[in-house]
Amino acid sequence: NFKADLPGAKKEEVKVEVEEGRVLQISGERSKEEEEKNDKWHRVERSSGKFLRRFRLPENAKVDQVKASMENGVLTVTMPKEDAKKKPEMKSIEISG
């Protein structure tokens, strides 16, 4: 599982992709609006920023079954893993000659 804290980001602004070579890429754009006012003045401040993070996935990750969900500004990417493969048994080779 990967978790990314993306306060203020909406799921429509976030893209999760798996690239060749088992690379998970999370990208998007965050926009934030701050408003402050009183009886004398009114201020609205907007800020935005692009982000991009890449992670190498483990060899046993099932890349075709990656799922992503977003709740309260936290993106969770879940990927099942294949069962750990058994280590091959050691086999002695007789040396001739």
For 39-49, what is each residue's pLDDT tens digit? 988 888 877 78
Give the confidence band of 78 by pLDDT, cuts at 50, 70, 90.
very high
Nearest CA to 52 out of 12, 91, 4 is that of 4
Q: Does domain 2-78 have CATH number 3.30.450.90?
A: no
**What pLDDT does 85 receive?**
64
Does 86 score more than 70 pLDDT? no
Whether the full predicted model's pTM is greater than 0.85, yes or no, is: no
Reduced 3-state DSSP string for the chain: CEEEECCCCCHHHEEEEEECCCEEEEEEEEEEEEEEECCCCEEEEEEEEEEEEEEECCCCECHHHCEEEEECCEEEEECCECCCCCCCCCCCCCCCC
